[in-house]
């Protein structure tokens, strides 16, 4: 079974049907979409990378996660990301990601 890399990033984008008549396609466009794609390009097989922007937005507890600062194609600034899940080489095992913490919860 192939374990494809994936990534999550947060930002503004356009999502919807583009085109006319029989030539219509559902697509997502924008800098956030491109950043997520470039981030996924940097992920290794079986990894889920989460941008620092998304980690903050989701309230993700990153204290036990591996961090990376990555140079992404087409972007001037480096991007910080967290390895949330690494399933490569772990056939048949389950990896659990800690639930995001919320203020006031114990």
What is this structure's pTM?
0.69
Cα 5 to Cα 39: distance, rounded to the nearest angstrom: 9
Q: Which domains does the chain have, with CATH numbers?
A: 6-86 (3.30.70.1230)
pLDDT, tens only, 51-78: 999 999 999 999 999 999 999 988 889 9
∠ CA 94-98-30, rounded to 5°: 95
* Residue 41 three-state SS: helix
């Amino acid at each position: 079974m192939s374990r494809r890399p994936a990534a999550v990033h947060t930002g503004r984008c356009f999502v919807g049907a583009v085109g006319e008549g029989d030539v219509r396609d559902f697509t997502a466009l924008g800098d956030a979409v491109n950043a997520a794609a470039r981030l996924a390009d940097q992920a290794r097989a079986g990894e889920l990378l989460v941008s620092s922007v998304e980690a903050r937005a989701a309230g993700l507890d990153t204290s036990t996660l591996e961090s990376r600062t990555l140079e992404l194609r087409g972007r001037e600034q480096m991007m910080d990301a967290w390895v949330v899940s690494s399933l490569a080489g772990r056939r048949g095992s389950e990896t659990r990601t800690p639930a995001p913490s919320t203020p006031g919860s114990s």
